[in-house]
Structure 1
């Protein structure tokens, strides 16, 4: 890499605001694929970027610094350095919850990338009494982030941000036991389960990012098989319809009894009902159904709720091979004969979610 590029990184440490601003603007385009250069001199370039963000002004410097940090997260060493700084993580969360912050969505992207690192669990211990108590009634930052995601979906909470990328943040939190426990624990400040607040976004047509992140959060949460009954049978959560709806199309079921057995949310679908169009999201929902078939109790319950007919119609009306294979696996689990003795249930291994990070161009 040229000495000119290294000089730009060194200028991030300059005491002259104009010099630092030019350096930040110039480095945005170089931040993808050149992480090693920012690690020179004990990561001084990264430290200067963090200091710029934490300073908070001027706005153009903060925006450029955030963008560079987002792109540098594809380097595991830099990612670990940033995520292990619990003060920095909490500060980014607070910036997201500043409802006048024009860079809130960039902060959401950065937080989503930081959640690829195991140190992100520090967010569960982070607290801050935010000034907007009408919106934020809990001092736990994880609760405030959930409030931003749910209440900000329409774009009215913060006119400059939609908070969509928090969906990926929640998805990666669900990789951890502490995260999965959080999603199914009733929160004292509002009396709701966090997963309960995410479920309606499985059908949120305005944002593929929200649908994808929520679908992954559901699937990851289902790796804890002991919580399946809570997810499915607790009427406050009532998970099953939210997985089935994206898989359901406008086709009429062949048997009227199949319709009556469906969850109420699926019994009166209109002729213009459309399935989820994103193949990855659809596969994720099918994998969630497959995880639910781990126990005999859930298999028997799913049979009573016409899960098989919905999957059957999807198989008939979709020619993608991966979708059909997922459908076949679900059908095999639901239609098989049950053994006389329990104990043959499949054991599900926990897997990590994708390691892809967000990049800003």
Structure 2
């Protein structure tokens, strides 16, 4: 049975290339999925298969990995970093889409497209101290919220509320048990890995053959939008989550631990995530027209090459360093007026220990 250590649960003391490699693979699937999404893939039997494969797990797995490395130290800085990126990317992305004569679907209360993750990360990080203090309570709470949150009619795409609730259990599990799960997955025998791999692909096959409505994987809508009863909605949500867990386990089983180009991409995955939207939307008019010229297998091959190229180029070190420098600098400036309100190191610790 997996148990959260009493001290600093989920902490990873040194750089773990397995995490980097997993992030590298996942950020590539994000780019590939968003490129394919510009070509109406859900209406084609060929393109729908990789879309089910990608969307069945890539964001839950990303959230799980984020939980592993989440810390409660310097909490205001960590939260503000994601908010700074969110409020910087949104207007730039709206302007970028205006240049290409695309509809940005402007709404102040709804983070546009992939920027929901930045807001949700800020929300999940706020919960880290509570996860560390009340691990079992927060684990149960997150699972209940994730499964039953779709009942609430007032929480949907606004403020990324639905996604924050639905994917929160993956963050909590990653924080409490992620390192142990990572070690366990890597230590399995080959026949065990093959068994879980078959189960993972079996779940994706079920989604594909049963034509499960793809928006269930987005986690952005409540049950009312799917026109299902509450028991049915909870059941579908549970099946989708189990599929995501199986696929995440499969990734961790085979990811390997060598420090290769995949690991380097994973280390710079924040830059790839933030910047790839501009590449994808810039290519959107062209990808939309390419459907009339190429068949589905060729479209997939083209998007695959474009995703590989975009992921590699956007993982260039200066992009990541520049993005982190910018977000940390703005964060420091925002927090500077409140510096006097923050306790100085050692000032109160002596009283507490006396």
- Tell me the TM-score normalized by structure 1: 0.24
Higher CA-based Rg: 1
> Which structure shows the higher helix fraction?
2
Bigger relative contact order (CA 8 A; separation at least 6):
2
